[in-house]
Amino acid sequence: MPRRSGRIVPQPNCYLGLTETQVVIPDDGVEDPLSYKQAINDVDKDQWVKAMNLEMESMYFNSVWELVDLPDGVKPIGCKWIYKRKRDSAGKVQTFKARLVAKGYTQRKGVDYEETFSPVAMLKSIRILLSIATFYDYEI
Protein backbone atom coordinates (compact mmCIF):
# COMPACT_ATOMS: atom_id res chain seq x y z
CA MET A 1 0.00 0.00 0.00
CA PRO A 2 1.57 3.34 -1.03
CA ARG A 3 2.20 5.97 1.59
CA ARG A 4 0.10 9.12 1.25
CA SER A 5 1.42 12.49 2.33
CA GLY A 6 -0.61 14.39 4.88
CA ARG A 7 0.80 17.72 3.75
CA ILE A 8 -1.77 20.34 2.76
CA VAL A 9 -0.81 22.18 -0.41
CA PRO A 10 -1.94 25.82 -0.36
CA GLN A 11 -3.66 26.99 -3.52
CA PRO A 12 -2.05 29.97 -5.30
CA ASN A 13 -3.91 33.21 -4.82
CA CYS A 14 -2.26 35.06 -7.70
CA TYR A 15 -5.19 34.25 -10.02
CA LEU A 16 -7.94 35.59 -7.78
CA GLY A 17 -7.75 39.29 -8.62
CA LEU A 18 -9.69 40.40 -11.68
CA THR A 19 -7.50 43.49 -11.91
CA GLU A 20 -4.57 41.35 -13.06
CA THR A 21 -6.40 39.43 -15.77
CA GLN A 22 -9.93 39.36 -17.06
CA VAL A 23 -11.65 36.70 -19.03
CA VAL A 24 -14.24 37.61 -21.65
CA ILE A 25 -16.99 35.04 -21.80
CA PRO A 26 -19.65 35.88 -24.37
CA ASP A 27 -23.17 35.40 -23.12
CA ASP A 28 -25.42 36.19 -26.02
CA GLY A 29 -27.87 33.47 -25.01
CA VAL A 30 -27.14 31.42 -28.15
CA GLU A 31 -25.97 27.89 -27.44
CA ASP A 32 -24.35 25.49 -29.86
CA PRO A 33 -26.64 22.74 -31.18
CA LEU A 34 -26.29 19.34 -29.53
CA SER A 35 -27.83 17.32 -32.36
CA TYR A 36 -28.42 17.37 -36.10
CA LYS A 37 -32.09 18.16 -35.51
CA GLN A 38 -31.22 21.20 -33.40
CA ALA A 39 -28.73 22.43 -36.02
CA ILE A 40 -31.31 22.16 -38.80
CA ASN A 41 -33.88 24.03 -36.71
CA ASP A 42 -31.37 26.70 -35.60
CA VAL A 43 -31.52 30.29 -36.84
CA ASP A 44 -28.07 29.72 -38.42
CA LYS A 45 -29.23 26.63 -40.34
CA ASP A 46 -27.49 27.68 -43.57
CA GLN A 47 -24.16 28.13 -41.78
CA TRP A 48 -24.41 24.71 -40.13
CA VAL A 49 -25.26 23.01 -43.44
CA LYS A 50 -22.27 24.74 -45.06
CA ALA A 51 -20.00 23.60 -42.18
CA MET A 52 -21.25 20.00 -42.47
CA ASN A 53 -20.67 20.01 -46.23
CA LEU A 54 -17.11 21.29 -45.72
CA GLU A 55 -16.46 18.52 -43.19
CA MET A 56 -17.79 15.84 -45.55
CA GLU A 57 -15.72 17.22 -48.45
CA SER A 58 -12.63 17.19 -46.24
CA MET A 59 -13.27 13.57 -45.20
CA TYR A 60 -13.78 12.53 -48.82
CA PHE A 61 -10.66 14.39 -49.99
CA ASN A 62 -8.50 12.83 -47.23
CA SER A 63 -9.88 9.31 -47.83
CA VAL A 64 -11.01 8.99 -44.22
CA TRP A 65 -13.05 5.88 -44.87
CA GLU A 66 -13.58 3.17 -47.40
CA LEU A 67 -16.97 1.67 -48.24
CA VAL A 68 -17.17 -2.08 -47.63
CA ASP A 69 -19.95 -4.65 -47.46
CA LEU A 70 -21.18 -5.20 -43.93
CA PRO A 71 -20.87 -8.85 -42.80
CA ASP A 72 -24.01 -10.61 -41.62
CA GLY A 73 -24.84 -10.07 -37.97
CA VAL A 74 -22.51 -7.06 -37.57
CA LYS A 75 -23.87 -3.74 -36.44
CA PRO A 76 -22.03 -0.68 -37.83
CA ILE A 77 -20.58 1.93 -35.48
CA GLY A 78 -22.81 4.97 -35.28
CA CYS A 79 -21.70 8.55 -35.63
CA LYS A 80 -22.90 11.97 -34.57
CA TRP A 81 -22.28 15.59 -35.42
CA ILE A 82 -20.54 17.97 -33.00
CA TYR A 83 -21.22 21.67 -33.59
CA LYS A 84 -19.25 24.67 -32.35
CA ARG A 85 -19.39 28.40 -32.99
CA LYS A 86 -15.83 29.77 -33.08
CA ARG A 87 -15.62 33.28 -31.64
CA ASP A 88 -13.04 36.04 -31.69
CA SER A 89 -11.67 37.80 -28.61
CA ALA A 90 -14.67 40.15 -28.53
CA GLY A 91 -17.11 37.23 -28.49
CA LYS A 92 -18.35 37.73 -32.06
CA VAL A 93 -18.98 34.53 -34.04
CA GLN A 94 -16.25 34.08 -36.65
CA THR A 95 -16.88 30.61 -38.06
CA PHE A 96 -19.15 27.63 -37.67
CA LYS A 97 -17.46 24.25 -37.19
CA ALA A 98 -19.06 20.84 -37.61
CA ARG A 99 -17.26 17.55 -36.93
CA LEU A 100 -18.49 14.06 -37.63
CA VAL A 101 -17.33 11.71 -34.88
CA ALA A 102 -17.71 7.95 -34.46
CA LYS A 103 -19.45 6.59 -31.39
CA GLY A 104 -16.51 4.38 -30.48
CA TYR A 105 -17.83 3.85 -26.97
CA THR A 106 -20.43 1.45 -28.37
CA GLN A 107 -17.77 -1.07 -29.40
CA ARG A 108 -17.13 -4.23 -27.39
CA LYS A 109 -13.74 -5.91 -27.21
CA GLY A 110 -13.70 -9.32 -28.82
CA VAL A 111 -16.92 -8.59 -30.71
CA ASP A 112 -16.23 -5.39 -32.65
CA TYR A 113 -12.45 -5.43 -32.46
CA GLU A 114 -9.59 -7.65 -31.31
CA GLU A 115 -6.71 -5.22 -30.89
CA THR A 116 -6.35 -1.59 -29.91
CA PHE A 117 -3.89 0.81 -31.46
CA SER A 118 -2.28 3.99 -30.30
CA PRO A 119 -0.71 6.64 -32.56
CA VAL A 120 2.76 6.25 -31.06
CA ALA A 121 5.89 6.00 -33.18
CA MET A 122 8.03 2.95 -32.49
CA LEU A 123 11.78 3.42 -32.14
CA LYS A 124 12.31 0.94 -34.96
CA SER A 125 10.15 3.06 -37.29
CA ILE A 126 12.06 6.22 -36.42
CA ARG A 127 15.39 4.49 -37.12
CA ILE A 128 14.15 3.31 -40.51
CA LEU A 129 12.94 6.81 -41.36
CA LEU A 130 16.27 8.34 -40.36
CA SER A 131 18.17 5.71 -42.36
CA ILE A 132 16.16 6.47 -45.50
CA ALA A 133 16.63 10.23 -44.97
CA THR A 134 20.38 9.76 -44.57
CA PHE A 135 20.65 7.49 -47.62
CA TYR A 136 18.84 9.95 -49.89
CA ASP A 137 20.41 13.00 -48.20
CA TYR A 138 17.01 14.44 -47.18
CA GLU A 139 16.77 17.34 -44.75
CA ILE A 140 14.96 16.64 -41.51
Q: Tell me, what DSSP letter sits at residue 29? A: S
The reply to whether 95 falls in a domain is yes
The reply to whether 33 falls in a domain is yes
| Predicted pLDDT at 40 | 95
Phi, psi of 49 (to 5 degrees): -65, -40
**CB distance 77 to 107 below 8 Å:** yes
| Predicted pLDDT at 49 | 96
| Predicted pLDDT at 28 | 67
Could you give the CA distance from residue 18 to residue 93 in angstroms, rounded to a whole number?
25
Domain of 100?
Answer: 28-67+75-106
User: pLDDT averaged over consecutive 10-residue blocks of the chain (140 residues)?
Assistant: 78 62 61 93 94 95 87 84 89 91 75 68 89 90
Q: Which one, of 97, 60, 103, 55, lies nearest residue 78 by Cα?
A: 103
The DSSP-derived string for 57-85 is: HHHHHTT-----PPPTT-PPPPEEEEEEE
The reply to whether 101 falls in a domain is yes
The reply to whether 55 falls in a domain is yes
| Predicted pLDDT at 50 | 96
Q: Tell me, what DSSP letter sits at residue 84? A: E
The reply to whether 113 falls in a domain is no
| Predicted pLDDT at 4 | 78
Domains contained in the chain, number: 1
**CB distance 81 to 39 below 8 Å:** yes
The reply to whether 125 falls in a domain is no
**CB distance 48 to 83 below 8 Å:** yes
| Predicted pLDDT at 93 | 86
The reply to whether 130 falls in a domain is no
| Predicted pLDDT at 120 | 79
The reply to whether 2 falls in a domain is no
